[in-house]
Each structure stands twice: as structure tokens, then as C-alpha cells.
Structure 1
Amino acid sequence: MSRVSALSLFAIVPLILLLSSASMSRADDAQSPDLSAADAAFDSGQYAKAYSLYNASAKDGVLGYEAQVGVARCFMEVKQYTESESAFDEAIKLDDNRFEAYAGRGMAKWLQDKNKDAIVDLQRAIEINDQSVDGWLYLALSNQSLGKHDDALKLFDKAVALDDQRWFSFFQRAKTHLALDDPAAAIADYTRAIEINPNNTNAHRQRAIAYQQQEQYAEAIADINQRLAVLPLDTDSIEIRAEIYQASEELLMSARDYSALIGMNTNVPESLKSRGGCYMELELYQASIDDYLAASKLAPDQWTYANLATCYEYLDEYEKVDGFYTEALKLDPEYELALVWRAYARQRLKRFTEAKADYLAALKAGADDDPIALGNLSWLLSGCPDETVRDGRLALELATKANELYEGKQAWVVDNIAAAHAELGDFDNAVTWVQKAIELAESEEEQADIRTRLELYQNKQPARIE
């Protein structure tokens, strides 16, 4: 992935710091050309003019070291990184003991994602001048890009120790802290970056993400609002704020931001899905259905179909639940959740043979450690009115495993153990287990339901699905 677009917001300042005319040491001999006009043009942002002036200093068609570096940095500032790298090559041919050209070429390589090559140049720059902040900084960035975050952190520490007034060093070290799952340290570094450069709204945006990871939602919202006060149409920040609101369960505010993104025609399918999720949590099921349906037409996937099925389940429309889980399974035939809950829908629709087949397929696909799947299938195998579906021994095995997974704390699973014993004709154990289920029940309504089965077992009758 090219780093050009990713760095366009904040990379220019460090580039100028590295290769500004003030940082260049001029040869102190009479043959060194006067490049002050070229340097002045460069420092004022007139890169085309500076480029021409540096080239005009050539003697017999050959540029000196400083002029060659000047040409290279002009290319870099206009994001022509390949040309910049080549120009630094020429500078190094003229003098291979100057750190500026190695550091600059390393940076140009890093900007082209040539990180391993960049590291070689940046290490050479540091060998020549171990006080080069930029050498340490961009060596850290190259390691960061390679995912070597522990190494990168040590290198960022070195750069910060040499110069603790560069916001960019703190900003990038914060990214490494996040990669190392240390949001508190990231927050501290983003805070320091903001102190050095208060107008750096990008640091506010990134600190908001770190605060979100810490579940400090008020601080996260305050930071992202700082960013949006300056850039109100920054869709990335609007999306981040929507996610923060959703994580903090401010669902209406989250839905508002997703609506804004949809209105701005930004990432519409995902925004529809996310807003649909907010509406589902708010129990606005028809609004959720509308969003998921619209999203499924733009970018269908199994999860959107599953969410549609979930909405219809809340509305007790099980034919539609069946239909949308079927659509999900067309895209992913081994989607465990879809198999389990389509089975439940078919059970509710009294299509017991199909329900059993779905449950068994779900276990084969990997749901054999899902206590809900195990428990639901156990109840079907114990209580199904269709004797060709029932299997008391397998029901007892599945219910026992589900109970172990729940550590014996779920009344409905213990109730299923009782039902399996009853199906096997062991009514004494059925009574024992159903009494345990009554003790575990969390509401009077649940207790009353379970007692209906206690009466059946006391009368030597198995339970049946109605």
C-alpha cells in the first residue's frame, strides 16, 4: 500500500525539518557554489523555482553535493519519491560520508514502502551522525511499517530523547503504543503532540480512538468534536464518532451520524448496516429491516441476511426468519449461527425433520461447543411430537454437555436434562433434574413453566413440544 495519501496530512513538516537549508552543512571552500537563492526559494515553498536554481549551479553539467541534495528534496516535497531517491543516489556518489543523503534516501524509500532498503540507509545515516533525530525517527517508522513494534518503540524513544519538541515523533510513537495494546501510553503521547502543536486536529482524532479503547467515551467524543469543529465534513471522523456513540450505547446519536454519512454518500452499505444495528438495539425493528434490506441490495453478505432474520425473529415472523437465514447460507453453507437459528425457526414452524437436520449440520460445522445449539437440539430430540425425530440417548448426551459448558447455572438446560431422562423412561431422574431447574429459574414465570413438566414426570409422562 502506498503511503502517499496516508501521509499527506502530516508528513511535510518532518521532511522539511530533515532537509531544510539550515540543517545542511556547506563545504567551506571557495569552489562551493552560492545556493542561498535556491535555499530561500525552497524554504518559501517555491519548489519549481528552487529546482531550477539548484540545477543552474551545475559546473560543466555536474551538480555539487549540496545542489544534488537540494534537487532530491524538491522532488520529495512534490511527492515524486522515485525521482527523489535517484537524486539522492547521485548525491551519495559525490560524497558517501554525509548523513543527509543517506537519511533522505532512506526516507524516500520508506515513502515507497521499501522498508528493508530504507533501514539500511537510515542505519548508515546514524553511523555517520548518531545525533540525527530524523535518522532515528525514520528508522523507527520503517520498523513500525514492518510490524516490528517493539524495535520501533525503542527507536522512537531515542528520537524523542534527542529532541522532545517534535510533535510528529510523539504522534508516531503513539501509533506504536496502540499497536502494542497500550492505549494509555498512546493517549499520553497524543496529548504531548497536541501540546507542541495545538492545531494538530489529526492527533485529536487519533487520541479519540485511544480513549475509545479505554472506554473513556466522554473524552473520546470531546476529541473527535475538536477535529470536526475544524473539518466538519471529515467523513472518517464522523464515522469514528458514530462508532464511539454506538460503543457507549448512545444509539440515537450514533444513528444520527450514520445518517449523515449516508446523506454524504460515504460508505453507504456499511453505514446502512451500522445504522440498522443501532435501530435493532433500540428495538426499532422495522427501521432496522429497512436499512438491512437496502444494504443487502448494495453489498449482500451473510451477516446482513442474518441480522434481517434476527429482526424478523423479534417480530415472530418465522417464515421470513427461515428465508433470510437461507439466503445467508447460500453465501456461506457452513455459517454456524445461521444453521442454529434457522433450525430454531423451523422448529417453531413445526418443520421438525428440517430443524433436526439443520442442528446436526451446525454441530458438524463447529457448533458442537455451542451450548445453545446443544440445548435446543436436545429439547427437539426429547420433546418432538414426531417419534422419527426423537432420540433420547443423544438428547441426554447433548444436554449434559451443554450443562457442563454453562457450569450447571442455566435452568433451561437443566430442564432439558430432565426432558431427556423422561424420554428414556427414567422419570425418577427426570423429577430430580426438573426440581433443580425450578430452583435455578430466575423468574416466577419461568418457574411456572417448568412446573408444568414436573407434573408430567410425576405422572410418568414425557414432555412434548406443543
Structure 2
Amino acid sequence: MRRLGVAALTALVGLLAGCSSGVQLNSTPMAPAPDTARIQDLSMAIARSPRDPKFYVERAEAYEANGQYKTALSDLDEAMTLRPDSAKYVYLHGIAYAYAGDDQAAKQDFARAEAMDPGSAQGYDARAWLLATAPDPQMRDGKKAVQSATRACAMTNWNDPEMLGTLAAAYAETGDFDEAIKWQQKAVDLTSPTLLVTLNERQARLALYQNRRPWRPAPPNHPLTPS
């Protein structure tokens, strides 16, 4: 399966260049192997609460960590059905398509989500995340990512740990790992210890920056459609 092309990311970044709506695009950090225990736990949670969209989103993120974007998209479809008013879920759906390489579907999701939620900080966050973590190195632009992420953080009073995590990813893309560590540490500090999985993920990303490595999405491990 080919990775996201230059044209697709150009379209996505262009869509968000002047907007102020979007989503937190902090996908689960890359995992060396499928998190089967986590997926099983979430599957049981879904069985108990089949109309709670957050469990589908969390399971989608677990699948994404292993490059299983087709399965992740199915869970995100369900979350969007349960919460049709959520622009955030539409953006997450779009980023899954983007990382899997479906250019047109990703563009459509981003356009739809922007129309659903104009004027929020999430759009700046979305643009920053793409610029910081795009699979195609020609489309990454750390400086612009920092600018966009900074605006998102300012609009949320510098206390949204997900958006601070995006700012950290943006700084990592520029090679400024001291700033990346600073903001990721703040994201960790703002995370409730009761959110153990989220806390572990943010700590893992902090360790990545401490090792002078930027965040990258897992490559897709299967095509979205049969060949």
C-alpha cells in the first residue's frame, strides 16, 4: 500500500491553512506489536456499553498503533454514527485515511469536519499535527507546525494536554527536542493518573523525544481495499 502522497497532504494542509476548526490528531504512539490485551479490554467495554463512542475511538487508536487502519476506520465509522455532531471524530476518521494513503477520502473528511466546527482551536491543532507528522517528508514543515500548534494552545489557555502534545510533536519535527520535552512533560503533568493508558502513551512519547526522535505514525499493514 502506498503511503500518503504529496498531492494529498498538500490538499489537506491547504484545507486547514486558514481555518480554525479541527481535531486533536494525536494518534496512539507507534507500538512494536499489536496491543492485543488493550484491544480485548476495549472490545469487552464495547460489549458492555455498545452506544458509548469513546470506546470505539480508543479501540481505533489501538488498531492504528499497529497500522491496522482499515479496522480502525470501521470503529471510527461506528463512533461517528453514535455521535454524528462530532467534528472531532470526523477529523480522526480523516487522519486514519491520510495515514493509510486514501487521498480523496481524507480530503473529504477534513472538509466536512471543518464545516461542522468553524472557529475552534482544533483546526489549528489539526494542521499542526499534519505538518509535524506527515508520512511524506516533503510535506512536513516543523516551523509552520509550531506556529499553528502555538495558536491552538493559546486558544485553550495552555492547559489542554492533547494540544500541548501536538506542540511537542511540532518542536520535535524542527529538531528542537528541548522544547519538545518541555511541552510533552507538561502534557504528562496535566494527565490524570487515573487515565493510565493515556498517561503511558504520553510518557512513551516523552521518552521518544528524550531520545531525540520525532513521532511518526505506523505505516499501514494492509490495503484499505482488495487489490
Displacement of 1:426 in angstroms is: 1.6
The question of 1:461 aligning with 2:213 is answered yes
Give aligned-pair identity as a percent: 27
Displacement of 1:313 in angstroms is: 4.8
- What is the aligned counterpart of 1:431 among 164, 173, 181? 181
| Partner of residue 343, structure 1 | 91
Cα separation, partners in 2 of 1:315 and 1:450, compared to 1, 3 Å: closer
Displacement of 1:415 in angstroms is: 1.1
Output aligned runs, 1:249-398, within 5 Å. 283-285=49-51, 313=57, 316=60, 318-319=73-74, 321-322=76-77, 337=86, 340-349=88-97, 350-351=99-100, 353-354=103-104, 357-358=107-108, 361=111, 365=115, 367-398=117-148
| Partner of residue 418, structure 1 | 168
- Is residue 344–residue 376 contact of structure 1 (8 Å, CA) maintained in 2? no
Relative to the length of structure 1, the TM-score reads 0.28
The amino acid of 2:155's aligned partner reads L
Q: Deviations over 1:325-348 (max 9, x none)?
A: 69xxxxxxxx9855x533312423
Cα separation, partners in 2 of 1:436 and 1:356, compared to 1, 3 Å: farther
The question of 1:407 aligning with 2:162 is answered no
The amino acid of 2:128's aligned partner reads S
- Is residue 418–residue 434 contact of structure 1 (8 Å, CA) maintained in 2? yes
| Partner of residue 192, structure 2 | 442
Q: Deviations over 1:364-423 (max 9, x none)?
A: 637453234433442233123232443323322332222122211111111110100111
Displacement of 1:312 in angstroms is: 6.3
Gaps of 5+ in 1: 1-279, 289-308, 327-334
Q: Deviations over 1:83-121 (max 9, x none)?
A: xxxxxxxxxxxxxxxxxxxxxxxxxxxxxxxxxxxxxxx
The amino acid of 2:179's aligned partner reads N
**Greater RCO, CA 8 A, separation 6+:** 2
Cα separation, partners in 2 of 1:409 and 1:358, compared to 1, 3 Å: farther
| Corresponding pairs, count | 155
Higher CA-based Rg: 1
- Is residue 91–residue 113 contact of structure 2 (8 Å, CA) maintained in 1? no
Cα separation, partners in 2 of 1:360 and 1:400, compared to 1, 3 Å: farther
The amino acid of 1:439's aligned partner reads D
Is the partner of 2:137 in helix, strand or coil? coil
The two structures, once aligned, show a CA RMSD in angstroms of: 3.8
Output aligned runs, 1:4-403, within 5 Å. 283-285=49-51, 313=57, 316=60, 318-319=73-74, 321-322=76-77, 337=86, 340-349=88-97, 350-351=99-100, 353-354=103-104, 357-358=107-108, 361=111, 365=115, 367-403=117-153
Is the partner of 2:157 in helix, strand or coil? coil
Larger relative helix fraction: 1
Relative to the length of structure 2, the TM-score reads 0.52
Q: Deviations over 1:242-268 (max 9, x none)?
A: xxxxxxxxxxxxxxxxxxxxxxxxxxx
Give me the whole-angstrom Cα distance separating, in 1, the residues matched to 2:79 and 2:210. 41
Give me the whole-angstrom Cα distance separating, in 1, the residues matched to 2:143 and 2:106. 15
Cα separation, partners in 2 of 1:409 and 1:386, compared to 1, 3 Å: same
Cα separation, partners in 2 of 1:414 and 1:310, compared to 1, 3 Å: closer
Displacement of 1:424 in angstroms is: 1.4
- Is residue 411–residue 441 contact of structure 1 (8 Å, CA) maintained in 2? yes
Cα separation, partners in 2 of 1:325 and 1:439, compared to 1, 3 Å: closer
The amino acid of 1:343's aligned partner reads Y
Cα separation, partners in 2 of 1:397 and 1:345, compared to 1, 3 Å: same
